């Protein structure tokens, strides 16, 4: 940590600052800890922020929505003057940084680092001047349920602090997989907050669990290909170098997130694919740039907190010196005019760069448990070398934007999630028949085990036709000529990896509701074949080309039923229709 920064904080914590009456400036608990290996409880943390807001006119502590734990989500507002109503920051002349901590409650580095940041911004004039151009918003504890589930054992590979929270939230969800699907109240509150605040930059704090290496802190930025050329170029060429230089100058080794698990980074590795279930992938849908800090689990807690603090401070300085908002405005303008949208991505193995890397020699020795070869890192053999880094993603599927969407009314879970994200659901207003593009679900795979409360779908394939659809007056028309254009395409196009279909919110259409009694329908099926020569032809062709079908009377009867007007039109018909351009 910079000597002048840490010195000012330490002096302020020891001497205190006077204000009206007998009040004393609050001191971050981290500075009061003799071991620097402790993090505050939820109650201690909220008490600190309450005291900060009570002492400083420039700080306000508000509640914003609820969480699954039955407690409200708190937001700390730090300004160079008395804080404004939250909605005013969207059009403020100042740029806004939003920081979120303890989404994984066992990774509390940012909890303490944010307290240090706020203390610094209030007590040192060289830091406080940054608030002339920047406002700072802090979610002190995002996963409140996990923070309350405090223990000292579940982080098996982590070097401190002494006690910490649990990864799962109050309903045992990993909230860093919940941003797009919004199964938690936390995520719904966050979505509403982001829509109202519209921050210029987002930073979320974590602790990594991959390989062993000398870097104290690593980071994930918004994936430059996915967030688009306008912002991607700025992240790669300006904003990330600015932040990493500041952190390095403060004395901390920093490197892109080492995306390696169970193998050695010597072999090279690829960028992290931040799909919309993750915060940076979710925010990229609205062109908001973000960073995830990942301090190294084996480094002492004190160093992890201090390096996180330096990253957060660098984020404030970045917003003070660079016009991020203009780049976001330019990107949104381009997005509103965009017609083709990638839906899924993969690592581009043809785009490889030699990246300088500092590591520890990876070796193998017999396991004392199993006797099989096991990986370990020899810290007596540090090295510096060039490794292969695959930093680019390429689209594997894409879709053309429709003119608008029609959502059949009744899918309440989808309606709630769209509203939480700021989408206006306008009733069609009258019963009508419209020619629309209609998807029918063709094939998909479903996970045999639950993942984050869902038996989610993958490899979804659809068939699209143009049909005249009877639309109810109470169905919803959703316009997409706005800043939600990409978000709506990602969640409403069924083949997207994080679509609402793949997260099971439309599963009811996969089940056939009406049926028939064979002994009754036999006579009608025979009459249908006699009266419909085309159906008769297709029926005979299928029998001649499909041996199993030819030997299966039940399948033959169902074939005729499915191709008759008795068959329900809702079965496998995706209840989101595309307006035709």
pLDDT tens-place string over residues 320-337 = 999 999 999 999 999 999
Give me the mean pLDDT over the 464-493 stretch: 98
Q: Which helix (H) or strand (E) holds 559?
A: helix 553-562
What's the whole-number average pLDDT of the chain?
95
pLDDT of residue 22: 56
The string of pLDDT tens digits covering residues 133-145 is 999 999 999 999 9
Find where tokens 């151009």 sit: 133
Checking if the pLDDT of 58 tops 80, the result is yes
Indicate the CATH number for domain 23-325.
Answer: 3.40.630.10
pLDDT of residue 18: 35
Checking if the pLDDT of 307 tops 60, the result is yes
Query: Predicted confidence band at 3 (pLDDT cuts at 50, 70, 90)?
Result: very low
Checking if the pLDDT of 19 tops 80, the result is no
Give me the mean pLDDT over the 120-139 stretch: 96
**What SS3 class is residue 148?**
helix
The β-bridge partners of 383 are 359
Give me the mean pLDDT over the 226-235 stretch: 96
pLDDT of residue 263: 87
How is residue 355 written in tokens? Answer: 């990246």
The β-bridge partners of 244 are none
Give me the mean pLDDT over the 108-115 stretch: 98
Q: C-alpha angle 138/144/145, rounded to 5°?
A: 165
The string of pLDDT tens digits covering residues 161-203 is 999 999 999 999 999 999 999 999 999 999 999 999 999 999 9
Answer for the pair 177, 278: CB distance below 8 angstroms, yes or no: yes
Burial of 565 (0-12, 13-18, 19+ CB in 10 A): exposed
Query: Predicted confidence band at 8 (pLDDT cuts at 50, 70, 90)?
Result: very low
Checking if the pLDDT of 21 tops 80, the result is no
Burial of 103 (0-12, 13-18, 19+ CB in 10 A): buried
The string of pLDDT tens digits covering residues 312-324 is 999 999 999 999 9
Closest CA to 97 of 121, 124, 73, 71: 121
Strand 134-139 and strand 95-100: the pairing is: parallel
Give me the mean pLDDT over the 500-513 stretch: 98
pTM recorded for the entire structure: 0.94
Closest CA to 314 of 172, 508, 134, 525: 134
Query: Predicted confidence band at 267 (pLDDT cuts at 50, 70, 90)?
Result: confident
Closest CA to 211 of 166, 255, 152: 255
Q: C-alpha angle 100/101/105, rounded to 5°?
A: 140
Q: Where in the chain is the domain with CATH 3.40.630.10?
A: 23-325
The string of pLDDT tens digits covering residues 549-560 is 999 999 999 999
| Distance (Å, whole) CA 119 – CA 571 | 59
């Amino acid at each position: 940590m910079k000597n002048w920064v840490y010195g000012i904080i330490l002096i302020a914590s020891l001497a205190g600052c006077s204000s009206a009456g007998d009040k004393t400036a609050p001191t971050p608990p981290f500075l009061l800890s003799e071991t620097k290996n402790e993090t505050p409880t939820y109650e201690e943390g909220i008490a600190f922020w309450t005291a900060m807001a009570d002492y400083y006119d420039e700080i306000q502590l508000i509640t914003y929505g609820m969480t699954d734990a039955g407690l409200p989500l708190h937001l700390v507002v730090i300004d160079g003057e008395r804080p404004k109503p939250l909605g005013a920051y969207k059009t403020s002349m100042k740029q806004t940084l939003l920081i979120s901590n303890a989404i994984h409650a066992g990774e509390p580095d940012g909890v303490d680092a944010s307290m240090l940041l706020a203390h610094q911004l209030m007590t040192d004039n060289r830091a406080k001047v940054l608030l002339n151009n920047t406002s700072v918003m802090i979610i002190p504890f995002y996963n409140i349920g996990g923070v309350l589930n405090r223990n000292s054992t579940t982080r098996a590979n982590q070097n401190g602090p002494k006690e910490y929270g649990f990864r799962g939230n109050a309903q045992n969800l990993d909230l860093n997989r919940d941003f797009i699907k919004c199964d938690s109240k936390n995520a719904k509150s966050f979505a509403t907050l982001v829509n109202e605040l519209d921050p210029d930059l987002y930073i979320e704090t974590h602790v990594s669990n991959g390989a062993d290496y000398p870097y104290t802190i690593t980071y994930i930025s918004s994936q430059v290909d996915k967030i688009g050329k306008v912002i991607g170029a700025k992240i790669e060429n300006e904003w990330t170098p600015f932040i990493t230089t500041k952190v390095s100058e403060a004395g901390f080794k920093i490197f892109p997130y080492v995306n390696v698990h169970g193998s050695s980074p010597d072999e090279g590795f690829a960028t992290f694919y931040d799909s919309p279930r993750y915060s940076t992938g979710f925010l990229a849908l609205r062109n908001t740039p973000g960073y995830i800090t990942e301090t190294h689990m084996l480094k002492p807690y004190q160093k992890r907190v201090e390096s996180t603090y330096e990253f957060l401070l660098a984020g404030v300085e970045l917003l003070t010196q660079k016009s991020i908002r203009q780049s976001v405005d330019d990107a949104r303008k381009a997005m509103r005019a965009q017609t083709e949208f990638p839906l899924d991505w993969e690592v581009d193995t043809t785009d490889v760069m030699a990246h300088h890397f500092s590591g520890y020699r990876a070796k193998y020795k017999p396991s004392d448990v199993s006797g099989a070869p096991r990986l370990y890192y020899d810290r007596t053999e540090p090295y510096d070398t060039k490794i292969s880094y695959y930093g680019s993603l390429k689209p594997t599927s894409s879709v053309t934007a429709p003119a608008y969407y029609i959502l059949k009314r009744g899918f309440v879970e989808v309606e709630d999630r769209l509203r939480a994200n700021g989408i206006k659901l306008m009733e069609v207003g009258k019963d009508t028949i419209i020619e629309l593009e209609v998807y029918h679900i063709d094939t998909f795979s479903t996970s045999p085990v639950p993942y984050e409360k869902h038996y989610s779908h993958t490899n979804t394939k659809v068939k699209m036709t143009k049909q005249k659809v009877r639309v109810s007056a109470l169905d919803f028309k959703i316009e997409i000529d706005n800043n939600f254009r990409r978000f709506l395409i990602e969640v409403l196009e069924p083949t997207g990896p994080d679509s609402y279909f793949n997260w099971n919110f439309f599963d009811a259409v996969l089940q056939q509701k009406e049926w028939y009694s064979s002994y009754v329908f036999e006579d009608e099926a025979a009459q249908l074949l006699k009266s419909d020569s085309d159906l008769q032809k297709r029926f005979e062709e299928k029998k001649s080309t499909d041996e199993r079908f030819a030997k299966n009377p039940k399948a033959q009867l169902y074939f005729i039923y499915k191709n008759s007007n008795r068959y329900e039109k809702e079965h496998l018909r995706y209840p989101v229709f595309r307006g035709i351009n």
